[in-house]
Amino acid sequence: MTAIAPSESTKLRAQTPGSMALKRFLRHRLAVVGLVLLGVIVLLVIFGPLIARFGPDEIDLLARNQPPGGAHWLGTDPTGRDILARTLSAGRVSLMVGLFSTLISVVIGTTLGALAGYFGGWVDNVIMRFVDVVMTFPSIVVLLTLAAIVGPGIDKTIIIIGVLGWPLAARLVRAKLLSVRELDFISAATALGANDRRILLRHALPNVIDVLVVFVSLGVASGILTEAGLSFLGLGVQPPQASWGNLLSSAREINILESYVWQWMPAGLLIILTVLATNFLGDGLRDALDPKAKQ
């Protein structure tokens, strides 16, 4: 039996969980499409000021309500501002609100969920009762009422949406932690004398990241939708600052809805595309990172 010297073609490639997950992800055509689509939208939105030839707040009363074509690629609004510029600038705002509100939900939810999942006992009971109550509460109603009392504005909107989203994150983190804490390496760490804080931060929580990644992707989608809804009603982002929601609110008037389609449709289409992309992405991520999880 001749020994075969290892060469490039016969060397075994180590399969890390990361690369396996990546392979599973890439098999999902829709998820890849979602990722690409989202990437395109994010790039468009970030480089908006370079793409659009006008500023989002440049008023030009001589060019009011122009349909698409000519200098203004997507037309103008009632004060002559370029729709393309406004829509892209609005995208920045909407995406930011979606992202940061989800981050708030993640921070609060992970903290509470980790405490509940890791320590169990009465801590778990108290926290989960709290989560149940907050989850049962109809979020739309609370959302609108809070927004009415607290007032509009980007920061307040981010906080309100974030504060309403944490219960789901807490539940997901807790569930994951309940299974993680039974694993051997946790017992090993305890046996070696690690205190609770070290175990949580260094060993348990890093394993929760896959659940959180899925949550973030779906949470951003949900945050964008919620911001759009609030701004549409006048409670979220205020003009002149554009957001996809308040660009759509101009369509509340029937004559704008009917006659000036270009003023609101781009924002609407972008919302649908972004949320669709994020949903595909989130679905793909969920299947890639945790194939055992049932739909």
Partner 1 sequence: MGLYTLRRLLVSIPLLLVISAVVFTLLQFTPGDPLDAYIPPDQVLSAQQREILKIDLGLDQSKPVQYFKWLGRAVQGDLGYRIKNGQPVLAELGRRLPPTLLLMGLGMTVGVVLGIFFGIIAAVKRYTLLDNTLTFLAFLGISTPAFLAGLLGMYVFALKLGWFPAGGYQTPGQGGVLDILRHLILPAIILSVTYIAILMRYTRSSVLEVLFQDYVRTASAKGVRSYRVIAKHVLRNALIPVVTVIGANIANLIGGAVFLESIFSWPGTGQLYLDAIDSRDYPMIMGTTLILAIIILLANLITDLLYGLIDPRIRFS
| Minimum separation from the CB atom of position 72 to partner 1 (A) | 21
- Give the residue, chosen from 144, 159, 163, 194, that forms a contact with partner 1 under the rule CB under 8 A: 144
Contact flags string 264-293 toward partner 1, x per CB under 8 A: x---x--xx--xx--xx-------------
Where do the DSSP E strands lie in the chain?
A: none
3-class DSSP state of 82: strand
Distance of alpha carbon 284 from alpha carbon 12, whole angstroms: 28
CA distance 251 to 228: 13
- The CA-atom distances, in angstroms, between 143 and each of 34, 99, 154, 234, 250 are 29, 18, 14, 13, 22
Q: Is 13 helix (H, G, I), strand (E, B) or coil?
A: coil
Phi, psi of 196 (to 5 degrees): -55, -45
Among 141, 191, 192, 193, binds partner 1 (CB under 8 A): 141
Q: Minimum CB separation from partner 1 for residue 30, in Å?
A: 8
Q: Which of 52, 199, 247, 251 binds partner 1 (CB under 8 A)?
A: 251
Report how far apart the first and last C-alpha atoms of the chain are (Å, whole number): 50
Give φ, ψ of 82 to 5 degrees: -70, 125
Cβ proximity to partner 1, 64 vs 252, nearer residue: 252
Sign of the Cα torsion 212, 215, 220, 223 reads negative
Question: Is residue 166 close enough to count as binding partner 1 by CB under 8 A?
Answer: no
Question: What single-letter DSSP state applies at residue 70?
Answer: T
Give 239 or 268: the residue with its C-beta nearer to partner 1.
Answer: 268
Q: Nearest approach, Cβ of 90 to partner 1 (angstroms)?
A: 14
- 257: contact with partner 1 by CB under 8 A: yes
- Position 184 contacts partner 1 (CB under 8 A): no
Give the per-residue contact string, 220-239, with partner 1 (x = CB under 8 A; - = no).
Answer: -x---x--xx--xxxx----
For position 93 contacting partner 1 by CB under 8 A, the verdict is no
Binding stretches for partner 1 (CB under 8 A): 133, 136-142, 144-149, 221, 225, 228-229, 232-235, 248, 251-252, 254, 257-258, 261, 264, 268, 271-272, 275-276, 279-280, 295
